[in-house]
Amino acid sequence: MGTCFERHMTNEHKTCPRLGFRHTSGVSEASAQGGGIPMSRCIMKQTLAEKKAYMAAYYLANREKLLAQVKAYQKEHRRQVQEYERRRSKKSARKVQINTYARRRRKKFPEKTRAYNMLSRAIKKGTIVRQPCEICGKPNAQAHHEDYSKPLDVRWLCFKHHREAHGQVVLDC
């Protein structure tokens, strides 16, 4: 039989079991006559598992469009997004989420973790001294590993140039 959504997609049923409307061409007959509920409303009445499956499929089909919308919003509302992230990062649930992500990342990329830890210890011991950015000379540069198998061989780059070295774009620095 399948889920309500699957039945809509394959037209296995004529009447929505949740709302009781007959659906034609993506909208209910009542909607086609100038009032009523569109077929998409039925999708919103699904179980949580059905909604997640539907949204995952929708995201995969429209990934580029959705990412472009998010980037445009973040660029337009930059200050509000920064303030939101600042408040969000202080919540205990978010801290747990960040720690879980960090643990997973360390397990997934042990070579990066090893290089980072070795460099951090060398800086603390004084074996390696932080340098200004190699490109623009700004202080507070970050260490950039070209090769993680050589953990103490790093380039010192400011935030902007470090992101550019990884192929990322910095909006305003």
Using the 8-state DSSP alphabet, how is residue 22 labeled?
A: B
Predicted TM-score (pTM) of this structure: 0.54
What's the mean pLDDT in 80-102?
A: 95
Q: How far apart are CA 74 and CA 110, in angstroms?
A: 32
Is 141 in contact with 130 (CB distance < 8 Å)?
Answer: yes
Distance, CA of 13 to CA of 11 (rounded, Å)? 5
* 138, amino acid identity: K
Sign of CA dihedral 65, 173, 163, 98: negative
- Span 53-77, pLDDT tens digits: 888 999 999 999 999 999 999 999 9
Question: Looking at residues 81-107, what average pLDDT do you find?
Answer: 95
